[in-house]
A = this chain, B = another copy of it.
């Protein structure tokens, strides 16, 4: 079983490659839920949904989030009621949130509802939220404001400089059923090319997850989300400094150093490989990590799995 720690879009694109290399039924993704938010009274799980839509082949191809062939009738009508559109939900997408919210109100844990949604999209991959407990990634800006991650990320387009990021509720949160078991029983553990602070970091902030990774006999291999000193997607460059990390494939590797056995970096960062190997004692593989099409994603997944098997030349 291959277990991947996953954020949103970057992880989704990587997983789309992974399921072409190994049977989807042998893949479990442990997904960040720190970004989850309530919109119009509905529970939205942006990372779970991005992965679901990508794997189901219904993702909006240009946006890379939300549904293809999307309309915004409900969101437009909701403006009448003073409901803002800073985080706009499409009609097709909304059906997922309506169903999720209904089931949560009925008392189903998020992990159960997540499995139901995955089944509704005919996914063979197992998707697990990092936790069933309420957690929320909060951002403290340099100018002293405390914002929900999505208010910062979508509402303010990540413009303000960030002083600190934290996962509210983390201390009282437990890993969702199956998370620790999947990690303990894995043959390979993968850290997707997701935001190290607000995607992978928030999964690792759930008590027990980091310990399970350290205790697992399976190799841990990550894919750098930073290419050529820049983020591939998103705005990790605003967030890495808050945890004292340099915005580079080396900086992120340092963050994960206690966990990693191997690290996959982009060809543009080839020059960093010897330094990462020497400083952190990791096996590093250099390859194309820009997953502009599914073939690159597939090759990248193959490379990461080869590295898990101890095979440096992928």
Who on chain B is nearest to A122 by CB?
Answer: B80
| Complex Cα–Cα for A5 and B219 (A) | 71
Say whether A94 contacts B74, CB under 8 Å: yes
B40, B73, B99, B117: which contacts A73 (Cβ < 8 A)? B73
Tell me whether A98 is interfacial, beta carbon within 8 Å.
yes
Say whether A41 contacts B102, CB under 8 Å: yes
Contacts of A71 in B (CB 8 A): 71, 73, 91
B80, B82, B91, B98: which contacts A41 (Cβ < 8 A)? B98
Tell me whether A42 is interfacial, beta carbon within 8 Å.
yes
| Complex Cα–Cα for A103 and B74 (A) | 17
Tell me whether A95 is interfacial, beta carbon within 8 Å.
yes
B81, B99, B105, B106: which contacts A78 (Cβ < 8 A)? B99
| Complex Cα–Cα for A78 and B40 (A) | 18
Number of residues on chain A facing chain B (CB within 8 A)? 28
Tell me whether A26 is interfacial, beta carbon within 8 Å.
no
| Complex Cα–Cα for A121 and B102 (A) | 27
7 nearest CB pairs, A to B? A41-B102, A77-B95, A73-B91, A81-B99, A80-B120, A78-B95, A81-B120
Chain B nearest CB, measured from A88 CB (Å): 13
Provided the pairs A40-B102, A41-B105 are in contact, do residues A95 and B74 lie with their beta carbons within 8 angstroms? yes
Provided the pairs A41-B105, A81-B120 are in contact, do residues A73 and B98 lie with their beta carbons within 8 angstroms? no
Tell me whether A92 is interfacial, beta carbon within 8 Å.
yes
Tell me whether A32 is interfacial, beta carbon within 8 Å.
no
Chain B nearest CB, measured from A59 CB (Å): 15
Contacts of A105 in B (CB 8 A): 41
Contacts of A181 in B (CB 8 A): none
**Would you list which residues of chain A between 23 and 45 have a CB under 8 Å from chain B?**
40-42
Provided the pairs A41-B105, A71-B73, A73-B71 are in contact, do residues A78 and B98 lie with their beta carbons within 8 angstroms? yes
